[in-house]
């Protein structure tokens, strides 16, 4: 991937920005929930977790070592798993009331998927060993 670091920075920025945008509107409470606000903190503050994942991912993007790329795959996979949990938690219907999904939850999905794609397709220049290629 030619623009690996640039796309990774965009993905992290998208993930962080989406935490501050509205994720769901609950008509029975007439409130909008974000990554940092839910009624009486019922859902916690998943925005903090996503910002932590984005920061760790961004640090390891700029380390040009194979172990850093493997850590990024792990961080992106954990981020996707936490995204699934958060999506189910924020968008499930309860007592006949279904929340309206807002732009933040969709941007969160896009950012997390972009993180996973950039983690799986890093730009690594492998050093060829002369001993492995010689037949003597």
Note the pLDDT of residue 123. 74
Taking the C-alpha atoms of residue 70 and residue 117, their distance in angstroms, rounded to an integer, is 13
Note the pLDDT of residue 135. 55
Give the rounded distance of the alpha carbon of 23 from its chain centre: 15
pLDDT values of the chain reduced to their tens digit, one per residue, 136 residues: 678 889 999 999 999 999 999 999 999 889 999 989 887 887 889 999 999 999 999 999 999 888 999 999 999 999 999 999 999 999 999 888 899 999 999 999 999 999 999 999 887 666 665 555 555 5
- Kind and range of the H or E element at 85? helix 66-91
Note the pLDDT of residue 51. 95
Taking the C-alpha atoms of residue 121 and residue 60, their distance in angstroms, rounded to an integer, is 14
Note the pLDDT of residue 133. 56
Note the pLDDT of residue 59. 95
Note the pLDDT of residue 39. 79
Taking the C-alpha atoms of residue 94 and residue 78, their distance in angstroms, rounded to an integer, is 27
Note the pLDDT of residue 129. 56
99-133: b or e for each residue (b if 16 or more CB lie within 10 Å)? beebebbebbbebbebbbebbeebeeeeeeeeeee
């Amino acid at each position: 991937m030619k623009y690996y670091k640039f796309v990774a920075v965009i993905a992290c920025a998208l993930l962080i920005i989406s935490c501050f945008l509205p994720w769901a509107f609950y008509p029975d409470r007439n409130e909008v929930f974000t990554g940092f606000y839910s009624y009486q903190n019922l859902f916690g503050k998943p925005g903090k977790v996503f910002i932590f994942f984005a920061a760790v991912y961004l640090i390891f993007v700029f380390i040009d070592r194979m172990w850093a790329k493997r850590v990024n795959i792990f961080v992106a996979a954990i981020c996707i798993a936490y995204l699934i949990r958060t999506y189910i938690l924020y968008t499930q219907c309860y007592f006949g009331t279904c929340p309206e999904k807002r732009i933040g939850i969709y941007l969160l999905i896009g950012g997390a998927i972009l993180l996973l794609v950039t983690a799986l397709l890093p730009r690594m220049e492998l050093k060829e060993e002369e001993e492995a290629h010689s037949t003597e």
